[in-house]
Amino acid sequence: MKRSIFIAGFPSAGKTTFLASLFHVLDEKRKHSKGYYVELPENISYINKVRGQWADVNELERTRTQTVEELLFKIKKDQTDVLELTVPDFSGEIFRGILKDRRLERTISERIKSSDIVLFFIHPENIQGPIRIDNVIANTDAPETLEGEEDDTDSVENAFEYLEAPTQSLIVDLFQIFRTVKPTLKIAVIVSAWDVVQKTNKSPDHFVEKNLSLLSQYITTNEIGQIFGLSANGGDIQKDRDQILDMEPSDRITLYEGTKTYSGYDHLIEWLINEK
């Protein structure tokens, strides 16, 4: 049975690295008719570009577009469609725009309705922690105005921009919007660049519980999915580039679920196929 997967995440969350590595590994399998493989999408120019950058162990170019540029491709096995992945916007700005404007584009809404699972990416180095109210007040302090002059200092309310709220609050808000559109929607959280935080965290669940406790409670209470860690580059491409270049592409990818590790993407694909 074919399942539809919607890929989301804020800017620089790791979506492009995931797609580039996934496409590279599964396209190699397509050439050898082996296991899960990817069917070539109609618009292949962008994915081929980032795939080449990933294979050559180079920094992936960040797409800055703020429009909805949908990328859709299919994962197959034995000539049968098993997964359909939809990426509405590489930059991630579309999801910040949803929160800022409180408006869901029809394209996004329809895709959420037709999807079985949202695969949401979080980069561990791009997390905004809680903001104390006394810090907000301190940031609004200004020199006293002279007698007779109007005080045009921003109020505390205006000084706080919603998109500067803690990352966990934004994510939970976005998930609630998604599940208002489709209450049965499942969500899998992917903590990308897991090798960056692996030494100080027992598991991806432990990392989210420690750093994004509201999100952890939301996922646990609603029983909506799973938390994974993903290292898609095989290490630090700045420090370890030569070592990574010597690795087989599939060996660069490690998925973490709980305390278990899996090489490549087969385990994630099987979870996406079988999760109810």
What does the alpha-carbon distance between residue 191 and residue 175 come to, in Å, rounded to a whole number? 16
What's the CA gap between 243 and 148, in Å, rounded?
68
- Residues comprising the chain, all counted: 276
pLDDT digits (tens, 9 = 90+) for 175-187: 999 999 999 999 9
Say what the pLDDT of residue 114 is. Answer: 94
- In sign, the C-alpha dihedral spanning 6, 11, 12, 17 is positive
Mean pLDDT of the chain: 85
More confident residue, 34 or 85: 85
Distance CA 79, CA 203 (A): 35
Burial class (CB in 10 A: 0-12, 13-18, 19+), 238: exposed
Tell me if residue 9 falls in helix, strand or coil: strand
Among 18-22, 56-60, 195-199, the range scoring the smallest mean pLDDT is: 56-60
